[in-house]
Amino acid sequence: METAEIARRFLAFFEKNGHTVVPSASLVAEDPTLLLVNAGMVPFKPYFLGQRTPPYTRATSVQKCVRTIDIDEVGKTSRHASFFQMLGNFSFGDYFKEGAIPFAWELLTSSVADGGFGFDPDRMWVTVYLDDDEAETIWREKVGLPADRIQRRGKADNFWSMGVPGPCGPCSEIYFDRGPAYGAEGGPVADENRYLEVWNLVFMQFERGEGSGKEDYPILGELPSKNIDTGMGLERMAAILQGVDNIYETDTLGRILRRAAELTGVAYGDNERSDVSLRVVADHVRTATMLVADGVKPGNEKRGYVLRRILRRSIRNLRLLSGDESFHMHDLTAVAIDAMGDQYPELRADADKIHSVIDAEEKNFADTLRAGTALFNRAAERTRRSGSTEFSGADAFQLHDTYGFPIDLTLEMAAEQGLKVDEETFHQLMQRQREAAKRDAKAKKLGNADISVYARLLETGGPTDFLGYTESEGEARVL
């Protein structure tokens, strides 16, 4: 079943069941606390928080999402994309667990001829929150799932919350058993590669209040109006329904992956290292295309930095694969536009604009790399000759300061040569530079107006620092 058809079926099922179909919001979140939309519920947040009254009590959508928190997982696990689409159904004070659980079960297990996905009920597992007996009873009694395929999980996995004070509640996650070829038995608690999480049902049941720490925010009581928020991974559904090993081999991402293999002359399946690179390229080219289409431009902070990092990682991986400095991004972007164009026709209409942004960044990065790579190689060689495996912090700093190498690039390049970067010294030098810049700015009475210093600080302050936000519980918040 094609990805576009999976999305269509999902919406049709919930529309038939009284839900209003709501189009995807832009990846650029309206929500000021978020950099990019990272879940299907984000556009509905004002309804869940009671800040606005929804014009419907049931809604369904296919939402574009970017999760920067998953970037480093891409290509290594079978299930994490940096851009993915979340299929969701939402209830605003309408049905609760007794409605959401049977809906999910019916859609997953009813036959393809009947508009469902035809999953074998015997291969389905679920998790429920530690004390959520109510959900477990519905799974057992209303759905008929055997008790030994229901597992209990704690706060980290199966409890959701949004702000303080704010709504919170238990989740129930649905997993598909891909079989013994993918790992040991024992259910999702034992192995999340074999048991692939496809759908998360969130039950917004309680209100949480202020407390002394994150772990002990007290539950104030039940919400007057309970809500449902669910998220199903479109790419993961496609992997299962198309019988492929991982999301990067599905109909959309697989096309970019195959083209990347052709262009670089590397066969997919040849070895694990180049396979990871090919998957990263397929994923990142698509993410970059979707971000640019939503108006993001490469830059040194916030969303622009996310895009720049994703583009640079694609280009670096292409060079690693091909062993030369050819430019491939234009060709691959064209494939991404075509692969996603049926679902998102605006990609085709904006193709020229998307190409010009991505092509320019590729050229820009090629210049940076050319300038810095010679210095990097000399420093790496010196390190090895001295019998050490530690790339000096001072060299990493110089690469940043003189050639504009972001630290994550130096880290990656060093790791490829089996070297570790002395990050502590690097960060000390960065700190010293920041302080000097501050003193300078004060002396010149510029205060914070020196934007270049600020931008540089954002680019180089380490993974959480430079993005200027932290992510937890699937949410990114501006610090």
Please, which residues bridge with residue 472 across strands?
Answer: 475
- Residue closer to ligand ATP by CB (options 81, 138) is 81
Q: What is the spatial distance between Cα 105 and Cα 111, in angstroms, rounded to a whole number?
A: 12
Beta strand extents in 349-402 (DSSP E only): 390-391
Q: Which stretch binds Mg ion (CB under 5 A): 57-65, 104-112, 200-208, 465-473?
A: 200-208
Q: What is the spatial distance between Cα 42 and Cα 47, in angstroms, rounded to a whole number?
A: 10
Give the 3-state DSSP-derived string for 82-105, with helices as H, strands as E and coil as C: CEEEEEEEEEECCCCHHHHHHHHH
Distances (CA, A) of 335 to 1, 99, 258, 260, 417: 20, 40, 10, 10, 32
Instruction: Provide the minimum distance between the beta carbon of 24 and ligand ATP in the complex, in angstroms, as a whole number.
Output: 14
Q: Residue from 236, 308, 319, 427 that binds ligand ATP (CB under 6 A)?
A: 236
Q: How many residues bind Mg ion (CB under 5 A)?
A: 2
User: What count of other Cβ atoms lies within 10 Å of the Cβ of residue 387?
Assistant: 6
Q: Token pair for residue 52?
A: 């606005």
Q: Token pair for residue 64?
A: 């574009």
Q: What is the spatial distance between Cα 36 and Cα 477, in angstroms, rounded to a whole number?
A: 10
Query: Does 231 engage in binding with ligand ATP (CB under 6 A)?
Result: yes
198's contact among Mg ion, ligand ATP, none, with CB below 5 to 8 A by partner kind, is: ligand ATP
Q: What is the phi-psi region of residue 163: left when phi exceeds 0, alpha when psi lies from -120 to 50, beta otherwise? A: left
Query: Does 229 engage in binding with ligand ATP (CB under 6 A)?
Result: no
Query: Does 68 engage in binding with Mg ion (CB under 5 A)?
Result: no
Q: What is the spatial distance between Cα 271 and Cα 407, in angstroms, rounded to a whole number?
A: 27
71's contact among Mg ion, ligand ATP, none, with CB below 5 to 8 A by partner kind, is: none
- Residue closer to ligand ATP by CB (options 82, 300) is 82
- Residue closer to ligand ATP by CB (options 125, 397) is 125
Query: Does 175 engage in binding with ligand ATP (CB under 6 A)?
Result: no
Q: State the virtual CA torsion across 244, 250, 256, 260 in degrees, nearest 10.
A: -10
Instruction: Provide the minimum distance between the beta carbon of 283 and Mg ion in the complex, in angstroms, as a whole number.
Output: 15
- Stretch 182-221 residues interacting with ligand ATP (CB under 6 A): 197-200
Q: Residue from 82, 85, 200, 230 that binds Mg ion (CB under 5 A)?
A: 200
- Stretch 259-298 residues interacting with ligand ATP (CB under 6 A): none
Instruction: Provide the minimum distance between the beta carbon of 399 and Mg ion in the complex, in angstroms, as a whole number.
Output: 32
Residues with Cβ within 8 Å of 139's Cβ and at least 6 positions away in sequence, in order, are 101, 126, 128, 145, 150, 172
Query: Does 460 engage in binding with Mg ion (CB under 5 A)?
Result: no
- Stretch 67-106 residues interacting with ligand ATP (CB under 6 A): 67, 70, 79-81, 84, 86
- Residue closer to Mg ion by CB (options 229, 362) is 229
Q: What is the spatial distance between Cα 63 and Cα 40, in angstroms, rounded to a whole number?
A: 5
Query: Does 82 engage in binding with Mg ion (CB under 5 A)?
Result: no
Instruction: Provide the minimum distance between the beta carbon of 37 and ligand ATP in the complex, in angstroms, as a whole number.
Output: 12
Beta strand extents in 81-194 (DSSP E only): 83-92, 124-129, 150-153, 159-161, 166-177
- Residue closer to ligand ATP by CB (options 340, 399) is 340
Distances (CA, A) of 323 to 263, 319, 335: 12, 5, 22
User: Are 176 and 240 contacting, i.e. CB atoms less than 8 angstroms apart?
Assistant: yes
- Residue closer to Mg ion by CB (options 197, 362) is 197
Q: Which stretch binds Mg ion (CB under 5 A): 9-17, 57-65, 148-156, 197-205?
A: 197-205
Q: How many residues bind ligand ATP (CB under 6 A)?
A: 17
Instruction: Provide the minimum distance between the beta carbon of 265 and Mg ion in the complex, in angstroms, as a whole number.
Output: 34
Query: Does 474 engage in binding with ligand ATP (CB under 6 A)?
Result: yes
Query: 64 in helix, strand or coil?
Result: strand
Residues 357-376, mask of contacts with ligand ATP (x by CB under 6 A): --------------------
Instruction: Provide the minimum distance between the beta carbon of 456 and ligand ATP in the complex, in angstroms, as a whole number.
Output: 30
Which is it for strands 469-472 and 475-478: parallel, antiparallel or unpaired?
antiparallel
Query: 60 in helix, strand or coil?
Result: strand
- Residue closer to ligand ATP by CB (options 94, 475) is 475
Instruction: Provide the minimum distance between the beta carbon of 157 and Mg ion in the complex, in angstroms, as a whole number.
Output: 6
- Residue closer to ligand ATP by CB (options 198, 413) is 198
Q: Token pair for residue 134?
A: 């109510």
Residues with Cβ within 8 Å of 113's Cβ and at least 6 positions away in sequence, in order, are none
- Residue closer to ligand ATP by CB (options 340, 413) is 340
Query: Does 289 engage in binding with Mg ion (CB under 5 A)?
Result: no
Q: Which stretch binds Mg ion (CB under 5 A): 22-30, 199-207, 327-335, 461-469?
A: 199-207
Query: Does 233 engage in binding with ligand ATP (CB under 6 A)?
Result: yes
- Residue closer to ligand ATP by CB (options 279, 319) is 279
Distances (CA, A) of 281 to 71, 310, 332: 12, 9, 9
Task: List interacting residues with ligand ATP (CB under 6 A).
Answer: 67, 70, 79-81, 84, 86, 197-200, 231-233, 235-236, 474
Footprint of Mg ion (CB under 5 A): 197, 200
